[in-house]
C-alpha cells in the first residue's frame, strides 16, 4: 500500500491508526494528538464551531474513504478527494457495500474473510461463516473445492469471473436445492498488486427454474407431434423429458382408448387396464406394449381419480411398490428416490398418465416441479389425443380400403397381372382392377381419387363399384369414362349440398381414371384416360414407347370435352404399364430415372419387375400413395375361335346351327351345352336377319365361358319383348336371356355385336 496520497488510516472501529504529515498540515494536529482517537469526534471538533464549518476545513465530499487490507484486517484509507469522479466512486462503493441485493464478501490474498455484507432477508448466513478470518471453504456455502479453485485462479490471473451458476447447500421443499450466481472480482492496489478478492453472490433459484421450465416446454413442443403413430408420440414425450427433467420417464395409456374406444371420464376405477406405451432412460429397457391393471391405493390410482399430479418421495422399504409390480420393477432396476405422476387428460377424459423418476444422479423433485410436469403433460395430452384420433381413423380407413380393394389381382387366361401399390401415411383413393369381359377380353382399370383418409377411400369404393357396373354393359373405354364422369359429378353435387358445418363439404373431389380393354383374339387394346399419365408399352423385343393416347379431362371436370380413345396393336407377350400421376416423372416418362427398370421387363416374372421398381422408388425417399399396374398379354389360341360368315336371308340360321354343332363337337363339349348353344345361335341369327343389316357373321369363342357372337351392320340395339300367349313371335331374346348366363350388345364402328355367354359344362377333349 502506498501512502503518498493517504491522509490517515482508520481501523474497523473508526479509530485513527496512522496520521500522515499531509493530515497534520490539513487539520493542524500532530500524530501524537490524533492516533488512537475516534475519527468522527476528531473531525467534528476540528471542523465545526457552533455547528458551522471553519474556514479552510474540508467540506462534504472533500475526503475520500476507501477500504484496504492490512495484516489480514480491514482498514480504511482516508484521502483528499481530487475531483467529482473520485467522490462519485466513493459513493458507488458505499452503496454497493450497504445496499446491494446480493451477498458481498471480501477476502484477503489467502482467501480468508475480511468483511461480509448480506442483504436483509435474502440470504441466510451463520455467524461462524460471516466472522473475519474464516476460510473460503467455510463461507462459500456451495461446492467448496471447485469454487476455491476458481477463486485462486482469479487471484493469480487478476481476471474476474462473472455470473457463475452454482448449487447452494441450502435446500427447500418448494424449490429444491437453491441456485446461486457467483461473481469473483480481484482487489488490486494502484500498482496492480493483488490484495484479495470480492465475491458477489445472489440467489437466482426462481429465475433459473423459470428459465429451465420454459426451455423444457419448448423442447417438448419442438420434439413432439412430428409423427402420428400413438406409440411414436409417447416415445417422443419420454425422450424430450429425459434427462433434462427426469432420469426415467414412463408413459402409460388407457388400453381401451388405444383400441379406439372413447376415453373414460375421471374418476376411473382400479380395474381399468393400462398399456405401457413408452419407457425411456431405464437400463435395461423394459418391454413396451404390456397391459396391466391400475393398482388401487397407490399414487397412480389417485392421479387418475382427481387428475391432480402427485409428488412421491420413494421409500424402497414401503408397501406401495410391492402392490404395484409395474412400477416396482422400474424402481428396483434403478436407485429412484423421488417421482412425479401426472395425468394425460383432455378435460375430464383420461388418456393415461406419465411417471417422471429421478435417481441418485439428480436432486429429488420439489413442489414447484409439479407445475412443470402438469404443463408438459397438458401439451403432451393434445399430441396423444390427436394421434389417437388419427390412429382410429387410419384403422377405419384401412379396413374400408381392404374391403374395397381387390387385393392381389388374379391372372386372367389371356393376361398376366402384377400391381405395385405403395400406400400413403393416411391412405388414399388409388385402385386398380382387371375385369373379365365377354369374348375373352379383359378391362384393365387404374383410378385415383385425390385426398386421404376415409373420405377418399369411400369415394374410391363408390367409383370402383360404378366401374364394375358399367363394365357389365360392355361399353367401350371412352363411353365408360363418360358415364363414370357423370357418376362422379353426381357425387360432387351431393357433397356440395351437405350442411355448411359438415367437414366433408370442404374436402375436394377430384378423380382420375384410365381404362384399357384388351382383345386376345384381335390382339388389340383400346385405351382412354381421364387425367392419368400416358401408358407405356414394352414390346416382346424389348423396345418400349409411351402410347399416344389423347388426354381427357379429370372426372367431373368443368370441361365437358369427350374422352378420346385410341386403339393399338399388342403383339403376344407385350407388357402394358398404367400408373397414377405420382409415377409419371420418374417411372412413366421416357427420361425418368427409374424408366430403365420398367423397360427391362423381358421374360422376367412381372412380380420381380414390380418389386424392383418398388425398392428403387422407396429408396429415393418418395412418399405418398403410388400405384402401377403391369399387364403382359397372351393370345387366345386360334383353335379356340370359330368364325363363320352368314347370308342375309332365312337360310342363315340353319347354316349357323350346323357350323356351331360341328365346332362344339371338335371342342368336345357335352350334348346339353351343344343343345343350349344351338338354341342361342338360332335365336341370335334369326334376330339379326330380321332386324339387322348385312354383312352378318357368327363367332364362337371358347375361354372360361362359351361366347356366341352375331354381328351385323345395323346400329339399332335389340331389346327383350314379353310376348303374349297368342303371339307367334317376339320371344327370341327372352329365350336367350333365360338360357344364357348373360347377354348384351357391343357397338363397333361397323355396327353392333349381340353376344351371349353360357357355361361350358364338361369337355370330352381338351
Instruction: Answer whether 718's CB lies under 8 Å from 735's CB.
Output: no
**By residue range, what is the domain housing residue 162?**
102-203
Residue 274 lies in a domain: yes
Above 60 in pLDDT, residue 355? yes
What is the tally of structural domains in the chain? Answer: 5
The more confident residue out of 62 and 331 is 331
With beta carbons less than 8 A apart as the criterion, state whether 429 and 459 touch.
yes
Please check whether residue 355 lies inside any domain of the structure. yes
pLDDT of residue 172: 67
What pLDDT was estimated at residue 364?
Answer: 86
Peptide linkage before 109 cis (omega within 30 of 0): no
Residue 521 CB neighbours (<10 A): 18
Kindly state the average pLDDT of the residues 128-152: 74
Distance separating the N- and C-terminal Cα atoms of the chain: 124
Q: How far apart are CA 214 and CA 220, in angstroms?
A: 10
CATH number (domain holding residue 326) = 3.30.450.40
Residue 127: its pLDDT value, please?
A: 45
User: Which residues in 132-167 are b (16+ Cβ under 10 Å) and which e?
Assistant: eebebeebbbbeeeebeebbeebbeeeeebeeeebb
Q: Is 407 a residue whose pLDDT tops 80?
A: no
Please tell me whether residues 436 and 569 are part of one structural domain: yes
Same domain, 356 and 340: yes
3-state secondary structure at position 423: coil
Residues near 390 by beta carbon (within 8 Å), at least 6 away in sequence: 228, 426
Domain final residue pick, 177, 203, 229:
203
Q: Beta-carbon neighbour count of residue 729 at 10 Å?
A: 9
User: What is the layout of strands, in order, in the sheet containing 6-10?
Assistant: 16-19, 6-10, 73-80, 63-70
Return the CATH number at 67.
3.30.450
**Which is higher by pLDDT, 121 or 290?**
290
Going by their DSSP bridges, the two strands 751-758 and 706-712 should be labelled as antiparallel
pLDDT tens for 419-476 read 998 877 666 788 999 999 999 999 999 999 987 777 888 888 889 999 999 998 899 9
End position of a domain, from candidates 617, 633, 649 = 633
Query: Which pLDDT does position 25 carry in this prediction?
Result: 75
Mean pLDDT of the chain: 81
Residue 670 lies in a domain: yes
- Give the three cell numbers for residue 21: 504529515
Please tell me whether the overall predicted TM-score, pTM, comes out greater than 0.75 for this model: no
Q: Confidence class of residue 647 from pLDDT cuts 50, 70 and 90? A: very high
Write down the pLDDT at residue 503: 67
Contacts for 561 with CB less than 8 Å, ≥ 6 apart: 552, 553
Where a domain ends, among 203, 235, 265? Answer: 203
CA separation for the pair 363, 352 (Å, rounded): 26
Run of H or E residues at 146: helix 144-157
CATH code, 557? 3.60.40.10
User: 754 and 692 in contact (C-beta within 8 Å)?
Assistant: no
Do 110 and 94 sit in the same domain of this protein?
no
| Phi-psi category of residue 441: left, alpha or beta, with phi > 0 → left and psi -120 to 50 → alpha | beta
Phi, psi of 389 (to 5 degrees): -65, -45
Q: What is the pLDDT confidence band of residue 44, given thresholds at 50, 70 and 90?
A: low
763 or 67: which leads in pLDDT: 67
Residue 764 belongs to a domain: no
pLDDT tens, residue by residue, 185-239: 888 876 777 888 888 888 887 887 778 788 888 998 888 877 878 889 999 999 9
Question: Closest by alpha carbon to 396, among 330, 316, 453, 312?
Answer: 453
Looking at residue 53, its pLDDT comes to 43
Please report whether residue 578 resides in a domain.
yes
Alpha-carbon Rg for the chain in angstroms = 48
What average pLDDT does this structure show over 393-407?
70
**What's the pLDDT at 51?**
40
Nearest to 327 by CA among 347, 308, 310, 348: 310
Across 82-88, average pLDDT: 56
Amino acid at each position: 500500500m502506498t501512502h503518498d496520497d493517504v491522509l490517515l488510516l482508520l481501523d474497523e472501529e473508526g479509530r485513527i491508526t496512522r496520521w500522515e504529515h499531509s493530515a497534520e498540515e490539513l487539520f493542524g494536529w500532530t500524530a501524537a494528538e490524533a492516533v488512537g482517537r475516534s475519527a468522527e469526534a476528531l473531525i467534528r471538533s476540528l471542523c465545526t464551531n457552533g455547528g458551522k464549518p471553519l474556514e479552510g476545513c474540508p467540506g462534504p465530499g472533500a475526503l475520500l474513504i476507501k477500504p484496504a487490507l492490512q495484516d489480514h484486517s480491514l482498514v480504511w484509507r482516508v484521502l483528499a478527494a481530487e475531483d467529482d469522479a473520485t467522490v462519485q466512486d466513493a459513493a458507488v462503493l458505499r452503496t454497493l457495500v450497504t445496499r446491494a441485493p446480493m451477498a458481498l464478501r471480501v477476502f484477503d490474498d489467502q482467501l480468508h474473510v475480511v468483511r461480509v455484507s448480506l442483504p436483509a432477508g435474502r440470504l441466510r448466513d451463520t455467524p461462524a461463516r460471516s466472522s473475519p478470518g474464516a476460510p473460503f471453504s467455510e463461507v462459500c456455502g456451495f461446492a467448496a473445492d471447485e469454487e476455491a479453485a476458481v477463486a485462486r485462479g482469479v487471484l493469480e490471473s487478476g481476471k474476474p469471473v462473472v455470473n457463475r451458476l452454482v448449487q447452494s447447500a441450502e435446500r427447500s421443499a418448494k424449490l429444491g436445492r437453491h441456485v446461486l450466481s457467483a461473481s469473483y472480482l480481484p482487489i488490486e492496489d494502484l500498482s496492480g498488486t493483488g490484495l484479495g478478492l470480492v465475491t458477489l453472490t445472489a440467489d437466482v433459484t426462481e429465475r433459473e427454474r423459470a428459465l429451465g421450465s420454459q426451455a423444457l416446454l419448448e423442447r417438448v413442443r419442438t420434439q413432439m407431434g412430428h409423427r402420428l403413430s400413438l406409440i411414436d408420440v409417447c416415445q417422443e414425450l419420454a425422450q424430450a423429458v429425459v434427462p433434462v427433467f427426469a432420469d426415467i420417464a414412463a408413459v402409460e395409456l388407457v388400453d381401451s382408448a388405444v383400441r379406439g374406444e372413447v376415453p373414460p371420464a375421471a374418476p376411473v376405477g382400479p380395474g381399468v387396464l393400462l398399456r405401457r406405451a413408452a419407457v425411456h432412460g431405464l437400463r435395461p429397457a423394459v418391454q413396451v406394449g404390456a397391459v396391466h391393471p391400475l393398482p388401487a391405493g397407490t399414487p397412480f390410482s389417485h392421479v387418475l381419480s382427481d387428475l391432480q399430479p402427485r409428488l412421491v418421495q420413494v421409500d424402497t422399504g414401503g408397501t406401495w411398490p410391492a402392490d404395484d409390480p409395474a412400477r416396482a420393477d422400474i424402481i428396483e432396476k434403478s436407485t429412484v428416490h423421488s417421482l412425479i405422476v401426472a395425468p394425460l387428460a383432455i378435460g375430464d377424459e383420461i388418456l393415461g398418465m406419465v411417471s417422471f423418476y429421478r435417481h441418485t444422479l439428480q436432486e429429488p423433485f420439489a413442489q414447484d416441479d409439479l407445475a412443470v410436469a402438469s404443463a408438459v403433460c397438458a401439451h403432451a395430452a393434445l399430441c396423444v389425443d390427436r394421434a389417437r384420433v388419427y390412429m382410429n381413423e387410419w384403422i377405419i380407413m384401412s379396413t374400408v380400403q381392404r374391403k374395397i380393394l381387390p387385393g392381389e389381382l388374379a391372372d386372367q387366361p389371356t393376361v398376366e397381372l402384377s400391381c405395385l401399390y405403395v400406400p400413403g401415411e393416411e391412405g388414399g383413393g388409388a385402385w386398380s382392377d382387371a375385369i373379365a369381359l365377354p369374348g375373352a377380353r379383359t378391362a384393365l382399370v387404374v383410378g385415383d381419387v385425390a385426398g386421404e383418409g376415409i373420405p377418399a377411400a369411400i369415394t374410391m369404393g363408390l367409383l370402383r363399384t360404378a366401374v364394375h357396373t358399367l363394365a357389365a354393359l360392355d361399353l367401350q373405354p371412352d363411353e365408360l369414362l363418360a358415364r363414370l364422369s357423370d357418376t362422379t359429378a353426381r357425387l360432387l353435387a351431393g357433397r356440395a349440398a351437405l350442411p355448411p358445418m359438415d367437414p366433408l363439404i370442404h374436402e375436394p373431389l377430384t378423380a382420375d381414371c384410365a381404362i384399357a380393354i384388351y382383345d386376345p383374339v384381335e390382339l388389340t387394346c383400346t385405351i382412354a384416360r381421364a387425367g392419368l399419365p400416358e401408358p407405356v408399352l414394352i414390346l416382346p423385343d424389348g423396345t418400349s414407347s409411351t402410347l399416344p393416347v389423347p388426354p381427357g379431362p379429370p372426372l367431373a371436370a368443368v370441361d365437358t370435352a369427350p374422352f378420346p380413345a385410341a386403339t393399338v396393336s399388342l403383339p403376344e407377350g407385350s407388357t402394358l404399364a398404367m400408373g397414377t400421376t405420382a409415377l409419371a416423372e420418374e417411372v412413366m416418362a421416357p427420361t425418368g430415372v427409374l424408366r430403365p427398370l420398367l423397360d427391362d421387363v423381358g421374360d422376367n416374372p412381372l412380380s420381380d419387375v414390380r418389386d424392383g421398381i418398388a425398392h428403387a422408388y422407396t429408396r429415393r425417399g418418395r412418399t405418398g400413395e403410388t400405384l402401377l399396374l403391369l399387364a403382359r398379354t397372351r393370345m387366345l389360341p386360334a383353335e379356340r375361335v370359330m368364325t363363320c360368315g352368314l347370308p342375309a336371308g332365312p337360310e342363315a340360321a340353319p347354316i349357323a346351327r350346323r357350323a356351331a354343332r360341328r365346332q362344339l363337337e371338335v371342342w368336345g363339349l357335352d350334348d346339353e351345352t351343344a343343345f343350349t348353344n344351338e338354341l342361342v345361335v338360332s335365336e341370335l341369327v334369326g334376330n339379326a336377319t330380321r332386324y339387322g343389316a348385312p354383312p352378318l357373321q357368327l363367332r364362337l369363342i371358347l375361354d372360361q365361358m362359351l361366347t356366341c357372337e352375331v354381328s351385323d351392320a345395323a346400329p339399332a340395339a335389340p331389346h327383350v319383348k314379353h310376348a303374349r300367349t297368342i303371339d307367334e313371335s317376339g320371344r327370341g331374346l327372352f329365350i336367350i336371356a333365360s338360357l344364357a348366363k348373360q347377354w348384351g350388345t357391343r357397338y363397333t364402328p361397323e355396327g353392333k355385336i349381340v353376344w351371349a355367354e353360357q357355361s361350358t359344362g364338361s369337355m370330352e377333349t381338351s
